[in-house]
């Protein structure tokens, strides 16, 4: 089998041939059909992610495919079942072994590509908006980086939850993607004044921020009293400084959301969120899909699309 492996944090990952893995106790082996790429993969390559595995390791955090074999003590899902799994690593390969308890059976109508694009992006946005921020119908949601892998899902889920959505993205094409996902208002981060436009629209009750930097500062200043600000990531490369005195004066709340962390301290919240989202997908309330696809031998191109911030929506790698 082939796998896209990181052997050194000072060298690019490489596609190598290796032996077929054997599932251990509690694991299943998956014949992988698709793997979603994430900004965290770029951080792992450099050893800068909070959950970077020990070297060497195979990149790829979330996968979909067909169960191929079961390890000791595993009763199911049965071989032949179509599933999605969040493994944290090991997804950019023809086969991988993952915790069987994390496997989600896929609806018949969901493609492997859509399933690989689903878990982290939709799971992050749903857990952030529904659990952390408690977004309410009629509230105003400002989404920064609204055309990125998680940003588009925040727009879509915010709209599905009944919020008025303001989408902030860079350039006409990305803004059109946000509009198609359900945004009511658009802000071009290249040319527009985020704070001024958002305040003209009445201010934000909830801010969803995977960008950080100057955009965080602008959004922070556009918040209404008692607004909730979700820090999802720092794609700009700049971690903002938060003036605590402004939190006090405007009664603001800033909260973090690391989706993968829930696996260690509250897995039932994550599992329940994904179950809700699969139901929404079956009902047509959301429409997960891959926006860019590459074969495994071109995985580096998909990662470069993320690195250059040229992707719109989710980047997925397919196998065979």
Domain boundaries along the sequence of the chain = 2-118+288-318, 121-260
Condensed to tens digits (0 to 9), the pLDDT of residues 68-113 reads 999 999 999 999 999 999 999 999 999 999 999 999 999 989 999 9
DSSP E strands, 43-163: 57-58, 62-70, 82-86, 95-99, 104-105, 140-143
H or E stretch covering 165: strand 164-169
Cα–Cα nearest to 315, from 289, 287, 290, 280: 290
Residues 289-299 have a mean pLDDT of 96
Q: Per-residue confidence at 235, pLDDT binned at 50, 70, 90?
A: confident
Q: For residue 268, give Cα distances in angstroms to 69, 262, 264, 275.
A: 26, 8, 10, 10
- pLDDT of residue 221 exceeding 90: yes
Find all residues with CB under 8 Å of 225, minimum gap 6, and list them.
Answer: 250, 251, 252
Cα 120 from Cα 104, distance rounded (Å): 13
Say what the pLDDT of residue 309 is: 85
Cα 75 from Cα 178, distance rounded (Å): 42
H or E stretch covering 316: strand 315-318
Cα 281 from Cα 132, distance rounded (Å): 22
Say what the pLDDT of residue 311 is: 87
229 has which bridge partners?
A: 207, 254
Cα 249 from Cα 46, distance rounded (Å): 40
Say what the pLDDT of residue 85 is: 95
* Fold topology of 2-118+288-318: Quinone Oxidoreductase; Chain A, domain 1 (3.90.180)
Same fold, 2-118+288-318 and 121-260: no
Condensed to tens digits (0 to 9), the pLDDT of residues 254-266 reads 999 999 999 999 9
> What is the SS3 assignment for 215?
helix
What value does the mean pLDDT of the chain take? Answer: 95
Cα 135 from Cα 133, distance rounded (Å): 5
Q: CATH classification of 121-260, choosing from 3.40.50.2300, 3.30.70.20, 3.40.50.1980, 3.40.50.720?
A: 3.40.50.720
Cα 38 from Cα 263, distance rounded (Å): 18
Q: For residue 159, give Cα distances in angstroms to 24, 42, 166, 202, 262.
A: 42, 30, 10, 18, 25
Got the DSSP string for 224-267? EEEEEEEE---TTS-PPPP-HHHHHHHT-EEEE--GGGHHHH-H
Say what the pLDDT of residue 310 is: 87
Find all residues with CB under 8 Å of 288, minimum gap 6, and list them.
Answer: 110, 114, 115, 117, 118, 122, 281
Cα 248 from Cα 255, distance rounded (Å): 15
Cα 116 from Cα 132, distance rounded (Å): 24
């Amino acid at each position: 089998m082939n796998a896209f492996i990181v052997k050194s944090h000072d060298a690019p990952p490489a596609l190598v041939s290796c032996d077929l893995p054997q599932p251990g106790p509690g694991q299943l082996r998956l014949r992988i059909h698709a793997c979603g790429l994430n900004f965290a993969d770029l951080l792992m390559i450099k050893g800068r992610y909070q959950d970077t595995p020990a070297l060497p390791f195979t990149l790829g955090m979330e996968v979909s495919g067909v169960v191929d074999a079961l390890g000791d003590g595993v009763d199911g899902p049965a071989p032949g079942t179509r599933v999605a799994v969040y493994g944290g690593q090991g997804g950019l390969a023809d086969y991988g072994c993952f915790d069987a308890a994390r496997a989600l059976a896929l609806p018949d109508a969901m493609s492997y590509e859509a399933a690989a694009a689903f878990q982290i992006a939709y799971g992050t946005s749903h857990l952030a908006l529904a659990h952390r921020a408690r977004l309410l119908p009629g509230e105003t949601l400002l989404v920064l980086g609204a055309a990125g892998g998680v940003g588009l899902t925040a727009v879509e889920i915010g709209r599905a939850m009944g919020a008025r959505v303001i989408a902030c993205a860079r350039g006409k094409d990305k803004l059109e993607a946000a509009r198609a996902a359900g945004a009511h208002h658009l802000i071009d981060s290249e040319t527009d004044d985020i704070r001024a436009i958002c305040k003209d629209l009445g201010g934000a009750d909830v801010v969803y921020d995977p960008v950080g930097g100057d955009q965080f500062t602008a959004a922070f200043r556009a918040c209404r009293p008692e607004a909730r600000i979700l820090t999802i990531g720092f794609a700009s490369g700049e971690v903002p400084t938060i003036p605590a005195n402004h939190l006090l004066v405007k009664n603001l709340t800033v909260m973090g959301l690391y989706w993968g962390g829930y696996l260690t301290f509250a897995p039932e919240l994550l599992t329940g969120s994904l179950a809700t989202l699969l139901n929404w997908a079956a009902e047509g309330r959301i429409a997960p899909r891959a926006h860019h696809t590459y074969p495994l031998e071109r995985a580096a191109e998909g990662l470069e699309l993320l690195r250059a911030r040229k992707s719109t929506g989710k980047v997925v790698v397919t196998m065979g």
